[in-house]
Amino acid sequence: MPIAEKDVKWVEPPKLGLFDYLYVPAVVTGLMTTARHMFQKPVTQQYPEQEPDLPPNYRGVHRLNRDEQGRVKCVACYMCATACPAHCIDIVAAPSPWPDREKYPETFVIDELRCIYCGMCEEACPVDAIELTSLYDLTGLSREEMIFDKEKLLSVYDQTKNSPKDPVRTSAGRLSVASEPPRETPKAS
């Protein structure tokens, strides 16, 4: 329905003086802003010339952790794949060749392009087998390169395990608390 003529309010543009026509106030305001920023600490990080200053809880490329015997820690419980909102974890479980667990991941694949780096997989894992590292410069020339298989995820662990930025968040390389036998509770005195 068209608006009635009486309801239309015409707004007149402000009258400009000579200064305004010469853009002098706008130019001076712009120069003042530039001068102010010249004496402030820059907030732009000069990547890639300088390494970015990442927060300690930065979530980058995944890794699959190894236990103290160098075996993949994962017990193929599918908790991470179930928790993943992007459905980018694909695991094929198989009977474990080792006596301390029932299953292990025959294949373990993460589509790093589909991942939203939310960290839910790390939160869900009962044995701290999957962790997100501080590796941020993830690049590839094809989609296939960005689909990480078990070997690649284990190689990220090998690459990052000694980095002070990516400490392994489990003790002594064991399978972690959830898979260890229950400890004796101290008797009340």
**Residues near ligand SF4 (CB under 6 A):** 74-80, 83-86, 88-89, 91, 110, 115-121, 124-125, 127, 129-130
Smallest distance, ligand SF4 to C-beta of residue 105, A? 6
Contact 128, 60 (CB under 8 A): no
Please say which residue, 30 or 151, places its beta carbon nearer to ligand SF4: 151
Smallest distance, ligand SF4 to C-beta of residue 158, A? 17
Which whole-number Å values give the CA distances from 103 to 63, 67, 77, 84, 175, in the listed order? Answer: 19, 15, 8, 20, 13
User: Using CA atoms, how far apart are residues 114 and 117, in angstroms rounded to an integer?
Assistant: 9
Smallest distance, ligand SF4 to C-beta of residue 118, A? 4
Please say which residue, 48 or 56, places its beta carbon nearer to ligand SF4: 56
User: Using CA atoms, how far apart are residues 111 and 117, in angstroms rounded to an integer?
Assistant: 11
* 164: number of Cβ within 10 Å: 6
Please say which residue, 115 or 154, places its beta carbon nearer to ligand SF4: 115
User: Using CA atoms, how far apart are residues 179 and 28, in angstroms rounded to an integer?
Assistant: 68
Please say which residue, 51 or 123, places its beta carbon nearer to ligand SF4: 123
Three-state DSSP class for residue 92: strand
Smallest distance, ligand SF4 to C-beta of residue 144, A? 18
